[in-house]
Structure 1
Amino acid sequence: MMSATRTSRPVLGAFDDKAVSEISSALAVLLADTFALYIKTKNFHWHVRGGHFRDYHRMLDEQGEQIFAMTDALAERARKIGGTTIRSIGHIARLQTIRDNDLELVDPAAMISELCEDNKKLAADMRRTHELTSGFNDFATTSVLENWIEETEGRAWFLYETTAD
């Protein structure tokens, strides 16, 4: 029988309260930005137009899938170490640092450029979180961040090269 006073501490118990707080807070911001970037990528995917429609539409769909794939692992990592994570769209809005784009019409080149900058920003934020997790010897989080940094830089590269003519 489970006790009603059960703490949120996982069986791991590998990290002290300071580490749990700082790592889960950093992961929550990354998660909020990942959701913001996902929605923006899908927004642009749905609204792209012009001579490169098919290529941009497909690329943004693929990138959206890759971005969304990170969300569950980010949230679950915070929970595994004993922290909490985002709980609502409002929570995402309070934490996100990637800006929304609610314009009705956005030029396709501007879409690609904006997403390129957003992916570069997300990669830089991941590198800062990597430094934090490394400092707490959180090898598991550090390791997955390395993969996500590579993927995020890859998206930025594709977007950058798409605009080169």
Structure 2
Amino acid sequence: METKIGITTENRNTGVQKLCKLLADEYVLYTKTRNAHWNVEGYDFYNKHLFFEQQYGELDEIIDSVAERIRTLGHYAPATLKDFLNLTQLTETKSEANDSIGFIKELLIDHESIIMFLRENIDFYTDLKDYGTSDFITGLMETHEKMAWMLRSHIK
């Protein structure tokens, strides 16, 4: 059945392409945060182990909400690792050491990259008359800004 929500099919198609890239970025960042949780070592292991767990929990909720937004717009969400790796702007590279500072710096760069992507696309969705997605990604941007602040606060 056709999705009739006041956004043209062309605009929904155009907007969903960027949401699929966002979903891929979120999934790669989630995976990298899980890696940090599992593999962090050092004097601050327990504290950072719990911190990374809290962060990947938030990212898990974000991933689900982005996929559901794609479905709301009448499309299927990409859902394979191959799809995510083809769509993401993030890299899988990781620091050589498994220390918390290395993981934090790496994750911070990725959060900031996603923040910039979101900020650059708020007006894009408004121009498509997709005010729901514009509002949705504004909220995601605020969430990532807070998560980035939390990461940044560990390395000051």
Q: What's the TM-score, normalizing by structure 2?
A: 0.92
The answer for the alignment partner of 1:93 in structure 2 is 85
The answer for the alignment partner of 1:132 in structure 2 is 124
Contact 2:95-2:102 at 8 Å conserved across structures:
no
Secondary structure of 2:116's match?
Answer: helix
Q: What's the TM-score, normalizing by structure 1?
A: 0.87
Structure 1 residue runs without a partner (length 5+):
1-6
The answer for the alignment partner of 2:103 in structure 1 is 111
Structure 1 residue aligned with 2:22, among 20, 23, 30?
30
* Higher-Rg member (1/2): 1
Quick one: structure 1 residues 103 and 117, their matched pair in 2 at CA, closer, same or farther if it must change by over 3 Å?
closer
Q: CA deviation at 1:29?
A: 0.2
The answer for the alignment partner of 1:48 in structure 2 is 40
One-letter amino acid of the counterpart of residue 163, structure 1: I
- Taking the aligned partners of 1:87 and 1:119, their CA distance within structure 2 comes to 21
Report the number of matched residues.
156
Q: CA deviation at 1:75?
A: 1.4
Q: For the aligned residues, what is the CA RMSD?
A: 1.6
- Taking the aligned partners of 1:26 and 1:18, their CA distance within structure 2 comes to 13
Structure 2 residue runs without a partner (length 5+):
none
Q: Does 1:153 align with 2:141?
A: no
Sequence identity (%): 24
The answer for the alignment partner of 1:4 in structure 2 is none
Contact 1:40-1:101 at 8 Å conserved across structures:
no
Structure 1 residue aligned with 2:3, among 5, 10, 15?
10
